[in-house]
Amino acid sequence: MLGHLEADRARVAELEAWILDLERSIAELRVEKAIAQERLDSYKYPVLTLPNEIISEIFVHTLPRYPICPPLAGALSPTSLIQICRKWRAVALATPTLWRAIEFRYYFDYESYTPAWRCPTFQIGDAWLGRSGSCPLSMSIDTVGVECALLSAIVPHRARWEHLKLSIEDAKSLPRLFDGPAPLLRHLDLSLSCYQQFEFHAVDLPQLRSVMIRFFHEHWAHAVKIRLPWAQLTSLVLWAVPSSMMVSILHQAPSLVHCVLGFPPKRELSSFGGEHITLPCLETLVLETLILETQPLVAREDFLLNLSVPALRRLEFNDGTLGSNPVLLTESTSVLAPRSAMRACLPHPLRSPRGHVDLL
């Protein structure tokens, strides 16, 4: 028994000495750690030594080129910049140009009946509008069932609209969107679903130069009347627009330089009526046929043969545009630009479905 006690006393003394040795080592390590931490705390990361103006400019260059809209969330969104550190957050929130290109995408949930203003996407977009300050705005809006809520969010900023892309189900909302001037608006892109007659007039747009119009339901497109300052446009895209509307618009747009036409169904092309259209400034003309409801749509020859574009430099078309009469290419181009030398490239059935004519 006494022997065991002696052994335990010796073991305790040994452990005590070992603990003291370890505590000295730990104390030394703590001192070394404190010195290293002090060096780290005194270190200034180069990016954090840059002036805020430089950091702000770097932030802007991480985004897609304006007017393209970045995603509202994720690595490519400016929201990621406010989650790195306190300084970056302050700089990002103080940089209005980071928030000036906004994409609203929202589809009403008819099962849950969630109000639009409670949707995270809607709330984020609304926050961006506030952060953008007084910057001109680029907005891409794709909504179903929330047009009224959307109006309340974007109409107060109408004086700042510069690029506006709208894809909406209730086209009757358009007159309310444009019941006042939009002095900075340069580009307007409309994709419309129309189920009843309505008129849309927006003429107080002094900077408007580019317009795109698409109809999702061409049957109802005939009940729509759109009035824009066509005479000042230099770029125009008309997609599935009724031929009567197309002809009327082209007659009012003598300043066009670039034009893309997606022809309406064949049954409507007779309404071109052989009307002569002159576009004296047009340099590029792109002709497309559409496929809606599985039916190929073919452009009528009388449109090309009654189109005068003396400044035309490039004519582009897809495989179905000339219908069953490719000879129309040489006939029409001689009318389109009779004094120009041309190089023709007909679409090859085994190659690209697109062809073009360069007028030199």
Q: Which residues pair with 316 in a beta bridge?
A: 286, 356
For position 178, what pLDDT does the model report? 87
Concatenating the DSSP letter of every residue in 227-296 gives: E--GGG-SEEEEES--HHHHHHHHHT-TT-SEEEEE---GGGGGGGTT--EE-TT--EEEEE--EETTEE
For position 359, what pLDDT does the model report? 55
For position 185, what pLDDT does the model report? 98
Q: Taking the mean position of all CA atoms in its chain, how far away is CA 335? A: 37
pLDDT in tens, 152-186: 789 999 999 999 998 877 667 777 888 899 999 99
Number of H helices, E strands in the chain: 11, 17
> Tokens standing for 278?
């002159």
Helix ranges restricted to H, 155-233: 174-177, 218-221
Grade residue 118 by pLDDT with cuts at 50, 70 and 90: low
CB 63 within 8 Å of CB 92: no
Lowest-pLDDT range of 48-57, 287-296, 348-357: 348-357
CB 312 within 8 Å of CB 283: yes
Handedness of CA 129, 131, 136, 138 (dihedral sign): negative
Q: To which H or E segment does residue 91 belong?
A: helix 86-93
Grade residue 201 by pLDDT with cuts at 50, 70 and 90: confident
For position 141, what pLDDT does the model report? 87
**pLDDT tops 90 at residue 115:** no
pLDDT in tens, 265-321: 554 444 555 678 999 999 999 988 765 444 444 445 667 778 899 999 998 876 555
Mean pLDDT (the chain) is 80
Question: Which pTM does this prediction carry?
Answer: 0.77
pLDDT in tens, 204-261: 999 999 999 988 766 556 667 889 999 999 999 998 888 888 889 999 999 999 999 9
CB 332 within 8 Å of CB 305: yes
